[in-house]
Structure 1
Amino acid sequence: MTRDTTENKQSMRTDDSDLLNLVTIVGRGVPSNFEISVSGEIEMVADDPMEQAVIVSGGVAEGSIETGVQRFRFSGECANIRAVDWNGVPAPESASSPTIHVDYGVSDR
């Protein structure tokens, strides 16, 4: 007999209300990469994060953006955000890298 050790990500948290903080990434029309790390848990606000090629694992999310908006809810504190444009020039040195907003205590879903 085999034992299934997989867990549903939702069951790892006590309550969705734990994810009261929000990171919003806005693309500027240039391919860019980003990485977000937080002290708690993070999840993408999207129907299918894999469709947008975003990897979310524990307290880290990484992916790319060219246009549009990507949002992430998280618990804890934002530890680090890194964004680079298609040439590898980091924000804020590149006017082409995405705009990033961090908001704490946002309970509106």
Structure 2
Amino acid sequence: MARTVPERSQAASETDSELPHLVTIVGRGVPANFEVTVDGELEMIDEDPETTATIVSKRAAEGSIDVGVTRFRFSGQMANVSLVDWNGVPAPDSSITPTVHVDYDVPNR
């Protein structure tokens, strides 16, 4: 039985070229706050900002996370990442703040 490869839409290809980079915030099971700023454009993926209470502007996003992941695609360079735990203790002084992964030139799958 042959397996077909799904076709990528032109919109997905355009998103790749317009927002080629990916930032992933991973919760550690404890409520924490994050703020991400880029010098290009930023867009939340996989989730709806209204349902997650994440504030997303053209170049910045801020919100909270306890478990799971929150992902954003962006263009340009990462300008700033700020993480604080539920007590307001910033990373790296707190071992329970979320982890952040920044990947450049990641295709949209």
Aligned-pair CA distance for 1:49: 1.6
Matches within 5 A, 1:30-45: 30-45=30-45
Q: Between Structure 1 and Structure 2, how many residues are aligned?
A: 95
Q: Partners of 1:65 and 1:94 in 2: how far apart?
A: 15
Aligned-pair CA distance for 1:24: 0.4
Aligned counterpart, 1:85: 85
Q: Partners of 1:48 and 1:80 in 2: how far apart?
A: 22
Runs of at least 4 residues of structure 1 off by over 6 A? none
TM-score, with structure 1 as normaliser: 0.83
TM-score, with structure 2 as normaliser: 0.83
Q: Partners of 2:68 and 2:30 in 1: how far apart?
A: 11
RMSD of aligned C-alpha atoms? 1.0
Aligned-pair CA distance for 1:107: 1.3
Aligned-pair CA distance for 1:46: 2.3
Aligned counterpart, 2:9: none
The runs of 5 or more residues in structure 2 that have no matched partner are 1-13
Matches within 5 A, 1:1-109: 15-16=14-15, 17-109=17-109
